[in-house]
Amino acid sequence: MTQITLALTKGRILKEVLPLLETSGIRPSQDIAGSRKLVFQTNIENFRLLILRGVDVPTYVQFGAADMGIAGKDILLEDAGGGYYESLDLDMARCRLMTASSKDTGIGEGRIIVATKYINVARKYYAQKGRQAEFIKLYGAMELAPVLGLADEIVDIVDTGNTLKAHGLVTKELIANVSARLIVNKTAMKTKFEVIQAIIDRLRGAL
């Protein structure tokens, strides 16, 4: 029987996706939350789950180490790879990818400095706006960059906006609405079509 591997994103997406899998009749053989393992068999023969960092999910799917994956749209926008189809919007783990800056900063039309972990997205966005920008890659504590004078603006995920407010920042422009998406390796979609389509149908039916 054909082996199918689904890569899942740790954290918030995993918490929201596991009940969806349960509703669709897919259950891991062990409690994922209480385990340090990264590979889990399921109640479905030859169907297993991988637990990865979100940023790694597209890579595993692109190169065929996983047939399918679930990752945030922000990760997919930043990923420059390809090699997969975006098959389903799961409409969960919703948030927004936005620009933000200090309340009292009047940013003119000149060159600005932008801090973000989404360098590819930000570069494309500011180029489309016709803005000259220099980019600084940060992996966390993005809100500190404008406060400490490291950057004029940030590009980051915004959920409630409370963290921004706590640091005196305001959201400015929406770049993209973000939610969890199901992606499928292009080769696997051809060679394992019936099995993969059945899983997509299960998930779609459970939404």
Q: Is the pLDDT of residue 43 over 90?
A: yes
CA distance 109 to 107: 7
Query: Checking phi first, is residue 82 left (phi over 0); if not, alpha (psi -120 to 50) or beta?
Result: left
CA distance 103 to 143: 12
Q: Is the pLDDT of residue 78 over 90?
A: yes
Q: Is the pLDDT of residue 35 over 90?
A: no
Residue 119 domain boundaries: 95-177
Query: What is the CATH number for 195?
Result: 3.40.190.10
Q: Is the pLDDT of residue 84 over 90?
A: yes
pLDDT confidence of residue 107: 61
Q: What is the mean pLDDT of the chain?
A: 92
Are 189 and 159 within one domain? no
CA distance 4 to 69: 11
Q: How many structural domains comprise the chain?
A: 2
Q: Is the pLDDT of residue 52 over 80?
A: yes
In the numeric block, which tokens belong to residue 69? 């994956």
pLDDT confidence of residue 161: 84
| Neighbour count for residue 163 (Cβ, 10 Å) | 15
pLDDT confidence of residue 140: 86
Are 77 and 135 within one domain? no
Residues 121-157 have pLDDT tens digits of 999 999 999 999 999 999 988 999 999 999 999 999 9
Are 185 and 86 within one domain? yes
Are 129 and 71 within one domain? no
Are 39 and 110 within one domain? no
pLDDT confidence of residue 163: 86
Closest CA to 86 of 176, 179, 182, 9: 182
pTM, two decimals, is 0.89
Mean pLDDT over 107-116 rounds to: 84
pLDDT confidence of residue 187: 96
pLDDT confidence of residue 106: 62
Are 102 and 155 within one domain? yes
Are 86 and 104 within one domain? no
Are 115 and 192 within one domain? no
Q: Is the pLDDT of residue 27 over 70?
A: yes
Are 171 and 105 within one domain? yes
In the block, residue with structure tokens 């409690």: 31
pLDDT cut 70: percent of the chain above it:
97
| Neighbour count for residue 131 (Cβ, 10 Å) | 15
Are 82 and 183 within one domain? yes
Secondary structure of 61-111 in HEC code, one letter for each residue = HHCCCCCEEEEEHHHHHHCCCCCEEEEEECCCCCEEEEEEEECCCCCCCCC
Residues 147-175 have pLDDT tens digits of 999 999 999 999 888 888 888 899 999 99
Distances (CA, A) of 78 to 57, 188, 204: 12, 23, 25
pLDDT cut 90: percent of the chain above it:
80
pLDDT confidence of residue 162: 87
Are 84 and 19 within one domain? yes
Are 161 and 88 within one domain? no
